A and B are shown apart, each in its own frame.
Chain A
Amino acid sequence: MAKSRSASYASPAYVVDGARTPFLKARGRPGPFSASDLAVSAGRSLLARQPIAPDQLDEVILGCAMASPDEPNIGRIVALRLGCGNKVPGFTVMRNCASAMQALDSAVRNIWLGRADMVLAGGTEAMSRAPVLFNEDMVNWLADLARAKAPLDKALHMTRLRPKHLAPEIALIKGLTDPIVGMNMGQTCEVIAQRFGISREEMDRFAARSHHRLAAAFDEGRMDEEVVTLYDPSGRTYEEDDGLRRDSSEEKLATLKPFFDRRVGQVTAGNSSQITDGAALLLLASEAAVKKHKLEVLGTIEDTEWAALDPAEMGLGPAHASAPLLQRHGLGIDDVDYWEVNEAFAGQVLAVIEALADPEYSRKELGLDDALGRIDESKLNIDGGAVATGHPVGASGARIVLHALKVLERQGGGTAVASLCIGGGQGGAMLLKGTAGETS
């Protein structure tokens, strides 16, 4: 169902530059940085590279899926911490795994409409700091305690506390489970892997390759411009994604047990993306801002597609979003020079590749006349993906857009698609054009 869109707008949406923090794996306890700390680290380095001052931005938009209670509207908080001053508004968006892509899309729309000239947009997440909550029984018990006024009443109420009251709710687990279909994200991957016949071996091979590709990218200096260094207050520095396993191999991965469907499943912790903290920010600008400040640009965000599908098969979201996006622009699969498909799970990306290559699926479920084709894996996630970097839910959408534009820059320009699957049964895809380093 292709939607019609007006092609007239005030200005193209240029991407000037971007930066991300190293992504840090959650290790069972709160990590050293809050979500706003991460965004501030990425943001201040990014802004230091520009000829503009923070208070010249028109707004700051951040994606964040699990904001902490003491960072309400993290977009605004980060704007203030970055020194944008009192006059720069900020807001926060949430579209699960694509929250940062939604933030970019919102920024793009404002530039198209002429409402903003320079926007700092992206996303951040500190999954290691997701709260541990009192369960509903406990909350009710506390409410009743507050209402009991007389000391005797209070004492009596204390005796009503039971062990079950103390069982915490782990917000993180809740966040990664679809409440409508009652499945966690890993289980949705099992569903589509089964549907498209993806084997355990193929998943593990893909996962190992993701680690090796990311390792090569860091070792060969290809990540230097994107990834800033983090400094924590205990004197430690972080320069690389710390979930990266240089020694990853199919053999090692084959020894892991299935994580989501015990015993009989194929998705393991090793061939899934990891729970991670990180932030990624981009500076977007209108034509007028680019001219006025003589900004060098990486490229443009041409268009975005949001698609929805059965939550139980949410992993196929990228197929549902990319197909109409390309069709609308009259592009075939060979017209795309580079792909980023977020690796929520190795098996999920492989299923997306199969789905886009499958004529029947394309006709029945994607509304196409025929299959788009098979994505060339040498043009897909060539510097590794979320299986190796980790997937901070609120930030990944911006990471893949930034990296796709950096790859296009290396290649001298071209067209890229960056896409993610979204928990809850959605997909998001962005069409990007590189400018080969020219100033517009």
Chain B
Amino acid sequence: MINVSKLKKGLVIDHIAEGSGYRIFRQLKLDQLEDVVVLMRNVPSQKMGKKDVIKIENHIDLDLEVLGLIDPHATINIVENGNRVKKIRLALPKRVEGILKCKNPRCITQYEKVDAPIFYLSDEESKTYRCSYCDSPTHFQGGE
């Protein structure tokens, strides 16, 4: 068992579904941080069997939209002086901006530059979002 020391100050993204940790790491561009970042995979969990955990030794602005999209069941703990001071539960965002890309070949966003396309959640279960321009459905796969 590898031991990772307890955080004094920072963020813990906990209860990440097994295997999603790396996707979150990549989508949040955590490799570009200068702070200490630890990605733990396949951590034993009573509730989940196995889970992924990410620890960041600083208070950074996390993109909750991205996190909610990849894993709406993950939680974020804010740690101060070694104690958890706040816990944030995530949810699938109703509206995402600049994360998804429309797959409709007839959509204007395939031809014109749109900085941050907006999508609206249309079906929570299947994580289906609709393009705000052409209304076509897009299923979030996590690889965008």
Report whether chain A binds chain B: no
